[in-house]
Structure 1
Amino acid sequence: MHGHSQTFPVSPPRAWAEVNLSHLRQNYAVSREKGDIMAVLKAGAYGHGIANIASALEQLPAAEAPVFLGVASVIEARRLAEAGIKTRIYLLGPTFPSEREEIVARRWTPCISSLAEARDFNRLVRENNAEPLPVHITVDTGMGRGGFLPDALLEKIGELEDFEHLYFEGIGSHLPSADEDEEFTRTQFEVFEVLLDKLDYDRFKFRHLANSAGLLGYQSASTNLYRPGLMLYGISPLPQFQDKLTPVLTLKSRVSLVRELPAGHGISYGRQTILEKDTLVATVGIGYGDGYPREISGNGASVFIRGKRCPLLGRVTMDQIMIDVSELPDCESGDEVELFGENILVSEVAERAGTISWAVLTGITPRVTRIYL
């Protein structure tokens, strides 16, 4: 038998995430009702897979496709470039000095938060003998994370525009609490609009402030580019708009074992759950090692099996969870389990875990296979 390599059967994944690209396109169409889009794809497109999501959006008709893809880091930008993505790439945060040479060489669009940053980019473009680099100015209207304070920008704009190797094509700011504090958010819009008025709107080709919550819940006369993130993936940060969107990702696993356990039996680490009655218990092949949050333990969570919500029992372990399937006497090994998706929103899971949808989605680990539909 020498020389013959044996082929082994390949099992399907234990835990997988189904990513529905037609739902992505539907949500994107909702976001485009306001105007041009910078699709926010940071953190692996919020756990959905950056290259596949970018490709699905880039394939839209030219008049509809995003103007920019927003990423958080050079590593993410490089991943898009290596995947052959041609859409312009925008770096959403301040850059490290060590990253700027690559940014200039690849013609990505950085945002500028200080004179020092602008000076450094200007120098690198000059040394590269390159065309002026398009950049956007970031304004801090209340986030406290980066950017020029509005008054400081009014003072410095002349100095910025003296950098002849930079083209200031855009200006943006960020909303810290558009999903929580309506009054402060309205003030931010006003501050941004007053600033644009003083600077002259037409100085900037792109003017952007709204994230998903800002896009769904607020109007602005002066902005013309929108930066949806979470809503592209079908989750609304403002619950009243959830019915306009469809979740893109469904996290699934399967039942590995179904057993009848007697009253008084403990379930999982710490034995926080002691069965009060004889219970049909299913073991499911997913845990916090896959990104299903451990913090949800004991908080009334359920999963979806055979069209029914079934309660989580005991603590989430690294690789497995236990479920009360007493209401599903036919439940058997191999049954599909939905952890969250269209039937149980990730926002519900996040709330029960004391966290936010963004953290749950971006916390889905690499051992969960993404399957694109």
Structure 2
Amino acid sequence: MPKAEETVLEIDLGALAHNYRFLRSKLDEDVKLLSVVKAHAYGSDSVAIAKKLEELGTDYFAVAYVEEGIRLRENGITKPVLVLHPQFTHFESIIEHCLEPNLYSERTLQTFIQTAEKLNLENYPVHIKLNTGLNRLGFDEPEISRISELITGTKRVKVASVFSHLAASEDWQEREFTVGQIDLFRKMSRQLIENLGYEPLLHICNTSGVINYPKAQFSMVRTGIGLYGYGNDKNIDPQLKPVGKLKTIISQIRKLDNGATVGYNRAFKVEKPTRIATLPVGHADGINRIYGREKAGVFINGKYAPIVGNVCMDIIMVNVTDIDCKEGDEVIVFGGPQHPVDFAEAGGTISYELITGIQRRVSRVIIPENKK
């Protein structure tokens, strides 16, 4: 791969393909796979990722917001797209672009049915979210009869899937709670299916659910973070490949003597002759202040360089006193020698927040899959 000449996020489609195949290998043969590509495909590039996943054979996509689904359609994605958190003002846009809404409350269900009636639609695919304990979105158990009545009372919509969301599927200390969620989902979905008279797709497992609760696959699973190389499990992470690698370069190297300070608020004080490298990436790019003051670091020519002082908006400074390097050399922020999970944990956060926080001004470089 060519060395970076600016700050870039490399997106490795070969790693994506590896992760997809790994997760597929965990599924029963007849279980469908829904790929979550919300938030710019977890901070990467939703179009490039979705096109590759469609090529690989994913059955469904999911996004959070309507505009994310529209972007996929405008770029040629044809597989079904579930919109996880649609807003009423976008219901007609959902229909215009053949997207499929998650209806999670009586108000959303009634309003979408009204929209479908206005447009004279029939059997438009919708998804019903059941609340089994996460307590974000979804119908509670006592509402099953009412929503069944609303759905069976119209020909405007047809339920494509019924689903719920596990709260702590990666945490074995919460196993009892997770099993309780799965059991409640089975009970609620069974009641809804009996009322509907047909069986939609059923899904509750996320990435950690796929790995830890294989008997809860139902007819489809949803995977997001696993596609991008993170298993939420120290034993699984080595079997996955992070899709994103954040790279930058050294803009300047400065030699400082004892007593000098570095950066805003003079947060780093030099206690012996020190070489400091300045890098063109900062908290406006997604490398937040939590990583400063030597909590995290980068790799230059295979050696670790701690971030010193406070992270600036567009710049970080690293200590390269013991590293043989020069201006213009490539720097690996995460990916490669440093797993993004380790970088995130050094700052006291999680991989989700790190990778989805890389801002759009950072150039994306797509690395195609090597099929040799």
- Using the size of structure 1 for normalisation, the TM-score is 0.90
- In the alignment, what sits opposite 1:322? 317
Aligned pairs for 1:112-127 (under 5 A) are 112-127=103-118
- In the alignment, what sits opposite 1:192? 185
Structure 2 regions of 5+ residues with no counterpart?
A: 368-372
Aligned pairs for 1:25-64 (under 5 A) are 25-33=17-25, 34=27, 35-60=31-56
Once structures 1 and 2 are overlaid, which stretch shifts more, 16-25 or 338-347?
338-347
- In the alignment, what sits opposite 1:212? 207
One-letter code aligned to 1:79: R
Secondary structure in structure 2 of the residue aligned to 1:239 = coil
Query: Following TM superposition, where does structure 1 have runs of at least 4 consecutive aligned residues deviating by more than 6 angstroms?
Result: none
Q: Which residue of 76, 98, 113 maps to 1:107?
A: 98
**Alpha-carbon spacing, 1:217–1:183, altered in 2? closer, same or farther (3 Å):** same
Once structures 1 and 2 are overlaid, which stretch shifts more, 254-263 or 115-124?
115-124
Secondary structure in structure 1 of the residue aligned to 2:312 = coil
Q: Which residue of 343, 346, 349 maps to 1:352?
A: 346
Does structure 1 residue 276 correspond to structure 2 residue 290? no
Does structure 1 residue 361 correspond to structure 2 residue 355? yes
Distance 2:183 2:279 in 1: 51
- In the alignment, what sits opposite 1:5? none
- Identical positions, percent: 33
Distance 2:341 2:154 in 1: 45
**Alpha-carbon spacing, 1:221–1:174, altered in 2? closer, same or farther (3 Å):** closer
- In the alignment, what sits opposite 2:245? 250
Secondary structure in structure 1 of the residue aligned to 2:100 = coil
Q: Which residue of 49, 67, 74 maps to 1:75?
A: 67
Shift of 1:155: 5.1
Once structures 1 and 2 are overlaid, which stretch shifts more, 127-136 or 18-27?
127-136
Number of residue pairs the alignment of both structures matches: 356
Spell out, residue by residue over 1:184-226, the C-alpha distance to the aligned partner (whole angstroms, 9 max, x if none). 2222112112223444588333111111221222223461211
Shift of 1:318: 1.2
One-letter code aligned to 1:170: S
One-letter code aligned to 1:27: N
Secondary structure in structure 2 of the residue aligned to 1:332 = coil
- In the alignment, what sits opposite 2:293? 298
Spell out, residue by residue over 1:258-289, the C-alpha distance to the aligned partner (whole angstroms, 9 max, x if none). 22211222121112221222112211111112
- In the alignment, what sits opposite 1:343? 337
Shift of 1:353: 2.1
Distance 1:205 1:286 in 2: 47
Does structure 1 residue 267 correspond to structure 2 residue 262? yes
Secondary structure in structure 1 of the residue aligned to 2:235 = helix
Q: Which residue of 88, 92, 95 maps to 2:84?
A: 92
CA RMSD of the aligned region, Å? 1.8
Secondary structure in structure 1 of the residue aligned to 2:287 = coil
- Using the size of structure 2 for normalisation, the TM-score is 0.90
Distance 1:169 1:233 in 2: 26
Shift of 1:313: 1.3
Distance 2:148 2:294 in 1: 52
Structure 1 regions of 5+ residues with no counterpart?
A: 1-11
Shift of 1:337: 0.3
Quick check: 1:115–1:160 contact (8 Å CA) kept in 2? Answer: no
Distance 1:186 1:271 in 2: 52
Distance 1:13 1:138 in 2: 46
Distance 2:40 2:92 in 1: 23
Does structure 1 residue 167 correspond to structure 2 residue 170? no
Quick check: 2:5–2:328 contact (8 Å CA) kept in 1? Answer: no
Once structures 1 and 2 are overlaid, which stretch shifts more, 47-56 or 111-120?
111-120
Distance 1:160 1:13 in 2: 56
Once structures 1 and 2 are overlaid, which stretch shifts more, 79-88 or 157-166?
157-166
- In the alignment, what sits opposite 1:3? none
Secondary structure in structure 2 of the residue aligned to 1:203 = coil
One-letter code aligned to 1:51: V
Quick check: 1:38–1:68 contact (8 Å CA) kept in 2? Answer: yes
Distance 2:336 2:209 in 1: 24
Quick check: 1:217–1:238 contact (8 Å CA) kept in 2? Answer: no
